[in-house]
Amino acid sequence: MTDDKAYLGARIFDGEVWHYDSALVVTGGKVKAIVPASALAEGIGKVVLDGAVLLPGFIDLQVNGGGGVMLNDEPTVEGISRICAAHARFGTTALLPTLITDTPQITRAAVEAGKQAKREGVAGFLGLHLEGPHLSVARKGAHDPSLIRPMEEADLDLLLSGAKDLDVLLTTIAPENVTEAQAHKLANAGIIVSLGHTESDFETAGLYEKAGARMVTHLFNAMSPLGHREPGLVGAALASTTLHCGLIADGIHVVPPSMAVALRAKQGQGRIFIVTDAMSPIGTDVTSFRLNGREILRKDGRLTLADGTLAGADIDMLSSVLFVHRKLDLPLEEAVRMATVYPAGALGISHKGALRTGTDADFVVLNDDLSMKATFIGGDCIHRA
């Protein structure tokens, strides 16, 4: 008997190609290999998946909440754990809990909670995304304008300190409230700088890309649009061969024809990947919640402020993958890459996002109709439908 365990009886997608009549062999929380089922060693433990589909675990770089918890309200290890657990039910095996613009005190608490979550090894916790507070009031979306402000030395120091103790620290900034020099310092420290919630023009976006920005937050939403004389941030994102772009794939934040145009336009190493921008209702039946003291209403797949402003999304990652697969007529494997390979590439990590020798044994098992069956993180079953 070995310590290896083999998962077989499923079509296996490793992030690049499909494997048939094969087995995923896992040992010590890592992928050992994908081998023909007929070549499995004697004595190996076997888990038969009954004709299901096995995929790399989904990676979500923008998750404001889930399971009834908003990170803004519970910037604690317990809050992070509940958010991760809620999204594991929908195939997300690695995520960045995301703090929406808040006070310096809440921001600091979230960073400290992230450090503690890493120390405790919270399943599914990948790092933090600080979406603000250094954004543009003109493109605030649902962010509280009274909390938006320029980046100061103390803010920069907090981020630089957090980067030393977190595997991933991503921050969304607007050039209106962050200087090129500050963006350069963040990027040099290993912090992933993403442009978003900004009126930035095409030229300015290019300057910040040169300063180290490597991502764009929820493409199309809360940013200067693509115009015929001023391409804006949307144009800069699509024209760049290196900027990676998050996309909310619920059909509400961006309609399918615009998604399709963006996917056809984007070329080069920088890819478009799916984010959920999910809020606390995911995994619950609540019809409203609060953000920075304001009520957010949940109705017909939308989350809005009282004035109708969209306030995050009411969608999980599996639903997002199936949306682009079915509504955009993307092959399933390409839809899956948008939630696995491409976000991992945006972060520059190689231990997640695919199933190959040495990667984390994070994977999702679906039924033949692509409904949820089980989620595994580090080889452990975290959720079973």
User: Per-residue pLDDT tens for 223-235?
Assistant: 999 999 999 999 9
Q: Where in the chain is the domain with CATH 2.30.40.10?
A: 5-55+355-384
Q: Are 177 and 149 in contact (CB under 8 A)?
A: yes
- Would you call 87 helix, strand, or coil by DSSP? helix
pTM over 0.75: yes
Domain range 58-347, CATH class: alpha beta
Per-residue pLDDT at 2:
62
Show Cβ contacts of residue 316 under 8 Å, excluding neighbours closer than 6 positions. Answer: 87, 89, 90, 91, 92, 276, 278, 282, 283
Name beta bridge partners: 295.
290
pLDDT, tens digit, for every residue of 253-284? 999 999 999 999 999 999 999 999 999 999 99
- As a whole number, mean pLDDT of residues 161-190 equals 98
pLDDT, tens digit, for every residue of 284-337? 999 999 888 899 999 999 999 999 999 999 999 999 999 999 999 999 999 999
- As a whole number, mean pLDDT of residues 126-145 equals 97
Per-residue pLDDT at 43:
86
Q: What tokens does 311 get?
A: 């306030």
- As a whole number, mean pLDDT of residues 95-113 equals 98
Domain range 5-55+355-384, CATH class: mainly beta
Per-residue pLDDT at 1:
47
pLDDT, tens digit, for every residue of 182-220? 999 999 999 999 999 999 999 999 999 999 999 999 999
Q: Where in the chain is the domain with CATH 3.20.20.140?
A: 58-347
Nearest to 309 by CA among 144, 83, 177, 176: 144
Q: Is 277 a catalytic residue?
A: yes
Instruction: Please identify which of the residues 14, 201, 277, 360 carries the catalytic annotation.
Output: 277
Q: For residue 114, which phi and psi values (nearest 5 degrees)?
A: -65, -45
Burial string for 40-79 (b: 16+ CB within 10 Å, else e) reads beeeeeebebeebbbbbbbbbbbbbbbbbbbbbbbbbbeb
Q: What tokens does 232 get?
A: 């804006």
Looking at the chain, the whole-number percentage of residues with pLDDT higher than 90 is: 95
Alpha carbons within 13 A on the beta-carbon side of 162 = 27
Angle at 177 between CA 175 and CA 182, to 5 degrees: 75
